[in-house]
Structure 1
Amino acid sequence: MTFRPKFVTFDCHGTLINYDMAGAARRIYGEMLDDAKMTQFIRNFAAYRLDEVLGAWKPYADVVANSLERTCKANGVTFREEDALRIYEEVPTWGPHPDVPAGLAKVAKEIPLVILSNAMNSQIMSNVEKLGAPFCKVITAEETGTYKPQMNGFEYMLDVLGCGPEDITHCSSSFRYDLMTAYDLGIKSKVWVNRGHEPANPYYEYTEIKDIGGLAGVFGL
């Protein structure tokens, strides 16, 4: 029997929105670094962003600035605060992956959609408005007081929705930010959108789809 959740909950940036931190970094540093060094810079930038969200909550502008400063130091590049601000201010301009609007709209006709995002209140709705489907709740890290992959945001979301981990399906392109935590919290129904960010990891018991166009089929829609 196909599981029909009370809500489908989503990571936003990366899963639904084309979260172009790599492109933003290239636009600033691409002329300074050759291809191999730029690739390393982007890898470091992603790793430091994850590290920055593991502690106490701070504004996402600080997450970007701190992780960029650490990346510049590791790669022998001069850090400038205006570069970090430029990257941060790009975030609300980014739109969805091409497969997202139609795929979401099909699911939204049958199941309520929710976002749990490592985002700021002032930025997130600009991204959500580009997704082309209705969301009944949009919950940010600023609201919950912690960033994913910490558990508090998921617990807060379940409280707000008035349901348990057995009642939802959580959908993300990231194990490290979302699906590992969802697994640890007992969320049995998980969907991994394989956007090539991370390798498959079957230990975490998920359904794999290549894009959001495949999501409706998970629920037999």
Structure 2
Amino acid sequence: MNLADYDALSFDCYGTLIDWETGLAAVLSAWARESGLDISDEELLLAYGDHEAQVETETPKALYSAVLAEAFRRTGDQLGAPVSQEWAQRLGASVPDWPAFDDSPEALASLARDYKLIIVSNVHREGFAGSNKRLGVTFDRIITAEDVGAYKPAPNHFQALDEALKELGVPRERLLHVAQSLFHDHVPAKRLGLPSVWINRRSGRPGQGATPEPAEAYSYDLEFPDLISFAEVARAAKS
């Protein structure tokens, strides 16, 4: 793959640019301590992940804040520790507090010099507005679950992405998708014939964390352990 062959990059946000597992764990672990549960952050994330994906499938038009709250309640039921309304709302409102990965702002600033940057994210507009302040760049298009009425791996984001490309004057063959989640992003990318780069943020750690195991075939064209490594190769290709 020659990264000079692409003019636009579409990004998953949470897990790729924003450290959603750290953000989730900050609330889940505080709740677990208060509830007297002896459970690690990894175990909490694993218990939570499938519930979030299920809620997104069942209620595709729900705001992400509501998805977080309901997935948290179901996680508590699974673990035998009920989640109060206060705790559920605390997780639902936490998205703007989730930290960016340390390399995200620098990498995005570098990539913005050579590529159009597009967000395709399972989030609501208000949540992403808070996260965007941590990323420090102006994206050329932002496509949220609230905009398309569905959550990845459903195809709605990518259908809206095709329309965004037309508006930006970028041929689809000049688009490259960049994401961490095999389940949410690389499965639909393969299904739709979209080339993709895996930012393997969990490199060196076992399991999928808060992301469900892919239920369908997936593929990716390149793999990097972080975003800055990808940005350096992309910059060199465009030089």
Q: What TM-score does the superposition give when structure 2 sets the normalisation length? A: 0.84
1:73 offset after TM fit, Å? 0.9
Match of 1:2 in 2: 2
1:167 offset after TM fit, Å? 2.5
In structure 1, give the amino acid aligned to 2:51: Y
Misfit runs of 4+, over 6 Å: 199-202
Stretch deviating more after TM superposition (61-70 or 107-116) = 61-70
Q: Of the candidates 160, 166, 172, which is equivalent to residue 164 of structure 2?
A: 160
In structure 2, give the amino acid aligned to 1:185: L
Match of 1:99 in 2: 103
Match of 1:212 in 2: 227
Query: Mapping of 1:48-67 within 5 angstroms?
Result: 48-55=51-58, 56-67=60-71
CA deviations 1:92-134 (Å, max 9, x no partner) are 1223100111111111111111101111112211111210222
Percent identity of the aligned residues? Answer: 29
Match of 2:136 in 1: 132
Gaps of 5+ in 2: none
User: Aligned pair in 2 of structure 1 residues 5, 74: CA closer, same or farther (>3 Å)?
Assistant: same
Return the alpha-carbon distance in structure 2 between the equivalents of residues 131 and 14 of structure 1: 13
Return the alpha-carbon distance in structure 1 between the equivalents of residues 55 and 27 of structure 2: 18
Match of 1:42 in 2: 45
Return the alpha-carbon distance in structure 2 between the equivalents of residues 206 and 30 of structure 1: 41
Q: Is contact 2:198-2:222 (8 Å) kept?
A: yes
Match of 1:76 in 2: 80
Gaps of 5+ in 1: none
In structure 2, give the amino acid aligned to 1:43: L
Match of 2:94 in 1: 90
Structure 2 counterpart SS, 1:17: coil
Q: Is contact 2:95-2:130 (8 Å) kept?
A: no
Q: Is contact 1:193-1:209 (8 Å) kept?
A: yes
Stretch deviating more after TM superposition (44-53 or 164-173) = 164-173
CA deviations 1:41-72 (Å, max 9, x no partner) are 33111111011112332122221122111111
In structure 2, give the amino acid aligned to 1:26: S
Q: How many pairs are equivalent? A: 219
User: Aligned pair in 2 of structure 1 residues 203, 136: CA closer, same or farther (>3 Å)?
Assistant: closer
Return the alpha-carbon distance in structure 2 between the equivalents of residues 205 and 106 of structure 1: 22
- Give the alignment's Cα RMSD to 1 decimal: 2.2
Structure 1 counterpart SS, 2:46: helix
In structure 1, give the amino acid aligned to 2:55: E
Q: Is contact 2:198-2:220 (8 Å) kept?
A: no
In structure 2, give the amino acid aligned to 1:33: L
Return the alpha-carbon distance in structure 1 between the equivalents of residues 75 and 31 of structure 2: 13
Q: What TM-score does the superposition give when structure 1 sets the normalisation length? A: 0.90
Query: Mapping of 1:113-132 within 5 angstroms?
Result: 113-132=117-136
Query: Mapping of 1:176-215 within 5 angstroms?
Result: 176-188=183-195, 190-196=196-202, 198=208, 204-215=219-230
